[in-house]
Structure 1
Amino acid sequence: MAALLYASRLAGCPYEIVLVASNNPAAPGLDLARAEGVPTFALAHKGMAREEHDAAMHHALTAARADYVALAGYMRVLSDGFVAQWAGRMLNIHPSLLPRYPGLHTHQRAIEAGDSHGGCSVHLVTATLDEGPLLGQLAVAIRPGDTADTLAARVLFAEHQLYPRCLADYVARVRDPRWLTAQVRERAMALPEAEETLSHGMACFGVVKGKKFAWVSADHHGDGRVALLVKISGTDEQADLIERDPERYFRPAYFGGDWIAIRLDLGDTDWDAVDDWLQRSWRAIAPKRLTALLDVADMF
């Protein structure tokens, strides 16, 4: 926790710590957080149902306007409901090179197995303990004569380097043009007969040997924005969208009034809505032989 906190105060770090929470009111990290001016929340879990305790934690996190949760030595198994509420937004660090040695006693297990290296892993938290998608790993050599304690001490140094880097990278990805383009690509290419090409320096998507239905503009002409360009009904809808949310919507340069640009780099992109925009835009240009099949499928 201290490593994450102090890293957050370095120039250019994309995250800040808004709350340090614990199920142990005597946790030393709480005193450190208070000394550094970080709000804290502590609630002992003894005598509380797991779901009740996790609901109180969730309320404290949302009240602090937290966007992500970084577990740091939180040794209590979280309820499935809590994990679901923070799906894709909760990270953990584990002292082994996952998938090797989930659970406890990781250093001793690595030594007894004769491994050349131990290490640590940062992963997303899922309902299955220590099995979420990996975000980063750092290997630490096991030296002759190492004990679990001596290896753990060196792995701790690695943890303090790895966790802040992985958290920063993960938080920053929501404004990274490459990551944003990849998210659009995954959705656009799932549409029937979609193909990707490069046009005017932008990734664009269309029907094979047909018209284009989407473009991704990344700092196009130096505008500093990453946006999805899709077809709409016309100038009236374009004007209405821009009037309702001028930060998110704008008229794309060199495109007509039947296109809209939707900012993807504001940090709060609704990817379900992006799915809908892409499907609508695809339908607007796809040949009838493709749309007719989907129209029939939609009836069922």
Structure 2
Amino acid sequence: MAEKARIAVLISGAGTNMAALVYASRMADSPYEVALVASNNPDAAGLALAQAEGIATFALPHKGMTREAHDAAMEAAVIEAGAEYIVLAGYMRILSDAFVARWEGRMLNIHPSLLPLYKGLDTHARAIAAGDSHGGTSVHLVTPELDGGEVLAQIAVPITPDETPASLAERVKLAEHQLYPRAVADYVSRWRDPAALLARVRALALALPETDERESHGSPGFRVGGEKSGKYFAYFADQHHGSPHIACLVRTGGMDELLSLVEGQPEVYFKPAYYGASGWVGIILNRPGVDWDAVGEWLERSWRGAAPKRLTRLMDVADAF
């Protein structure tokens, strides 16, 4: 069975979304476990529930502390618990930019509107006043912009003719309890999902000049240079030839570099069974913490090795500016 991702849930009050996350994590197929429930409010009711469920808790009032100092203390508790992701669930604190930056791509929040509509507060009243047909809830990545990160999942909730903010909030809360555990589970599982990994490789590869995608030996391949004379510069391999790896295959400078990479970082690189003899290296994607900037750099380097000179000259000119 695959190792479960460890999440820390930050709350300020009753923690109903936290409870939904906890109970969903107890399902046999859940890809995550709740390692910590932490709060800026020692009296938060959700802490008692977490303790009753045998989950580690941490509480520290923010009064009298700078935002940065309080964030640092909360973060220290998260790290000590071994959590890989932070999930905000009714955490009524604006986080410092530095804290958010350190957890970029690993911090999620839930918001009671169909983002990008109605960021901030009073979302239900604003949706009703605007005459919208639906309110709803969104799970998104946390960025320095308030409620501005990538939206991962949404559920729309109809607004009835005699709706009030309180009645809409009650139904949206039910939707939140369904949405948040599923969205968290899907997100922490992305590194195991071939379709999600292929989508990321595809976006990086096809962003390079004059590239196209064509299947080769049963794998998606990426070429440069045109329909007739194009050369492959990358392949996507989903556990091919008995390998346990989902990988992006790219060109290296030769066998010496390939072997050096594999020997030096076997958790990142491997020698592909079919392409390795030609000096191609596999970058392992089905692992937590993939450096996608590095994958992009490898794809560009491999592209340069296959692209016609007219294209690489143009790229060199662009890089000079």
Q: What TM-score, normalized by structure 2, do the two folds share?
A: 0.86
Aligned residues: 300
Q: Which amino acid aligns with 2:313?
A: A
Partners of 1:207 and 1:155 lie apart in 2 by: 48
CA distance in 1, matches of 2:126, 2:49: 32
Alignment partners' CA distance in 2, 1:2 and 1:49: 29
- How do 1:113-262 and structure 2 match up within 5 A? 113-208=130-225, 209-221=229-241, 223-255=243-275, 256-262=277-283
Residue in structure 1 matching 2:99, options 79, 82, 87: 82
Counterpart of 1:15, as a letter, is: Y
Alpha-carbon separation, structure 2, partners of 1:224 and 1:103: 44
In structure 2, the partner of 1:263 is 284
**C-alpha distance after superposition, 1:52-73 (max 9, x if no partner):** 2112222222232322211101
Shift of 1:92: 1.1
1:11-68, CA deviations, whole angstroms, 9 ceiling, x for partnerless residues? 2211221111111111111111122121112111001111221122222222323222
Give the Cα–Cα distance (whole angstroms) in 2 for the partners of residues 133 and 294 of structure 1: 30
- 1:46-85 superposed matches below 5 A: 46-85=63-102
Provide the rounded CA distance (Å) in 2 between the counterparts of 1:293 and 1:139: 47
- What is the aligned partner in structure 1 of residue 111 from structure 2? 94
Structural RMSD (CA): 2.0
2:309 alignment counterpart: 288
Identity of aligned residues (%): 62
Helix, strand or coil at the partner of 1:4: helix
Q: Does 1:12 align with 2:33?
A: no
Change in Cα spacing, 1:283 to 1:112, as seen in structure 2 (3 Å) is closer
Q: Where does structure 1 lack aligned partners over 5 or more consecutive residues?
A: none
SS in 2 for 1:215: strand
| Cross-structure match for 2:126 | 109
CA distance in 2 between counterparts of 1:288 and 1:101 reads 50
2:299 to 269, 272, 278: 278
Shift of 1:289: 2.8
Partner of 1:26: 43
The more displaced of 90-99 and 160-169 is 90-99
* Preserved CA contact (<8 Å) 2:269 2:283: yes
Looking at structure 1, the residues matched to 235 and 222 of structure 2 have their Cα atoms a distance apart, in angstroms, of 6
Change in Cα spacing, 1:298 to 1:101, as seen in structure 2 (3 Å) is closer
Cα deviations by residue, 1:124-148 (Å, 9 ceiling, x for unpaired): 2222222222111112223344432
Question: Distance in 1 between the 2:133 and 2:293 partners?
Answer: 45
Structure 1 counterpart of 2:66, which letter? A
Aligned mates of 2:280, 2:44 — CA distance in 1 = 55
Q: CA deviation at 1:228?
A: 0.9
Q: Distance in 1 between matches of 2:69 and 2:88?
A: 19
Give distance in 1, aligned partners of 2:153 and 2:318.
41
Rate the CA distance shift 1:140–1:285 in 2: closer, same or farther, 3 A: closer
Distance 1:52 1:261, change over 3 A: same
Structure-1 separation of matches of 2:163 and 2:133: 11
Work out whether 1:44 is the aligned partner of 2:61.
yes
Unpaired runs of 5+ residues, structure 2, are: 1-17
In structure 1, how many angstroms separate the alpha carbons of the residues matched to 2:311 and 2:149? Answer: 37
Query: How far apart are the structure 1 equivalents of 2:211 and 2:91?
Result: 45
Letter in 1 for 2:55: V
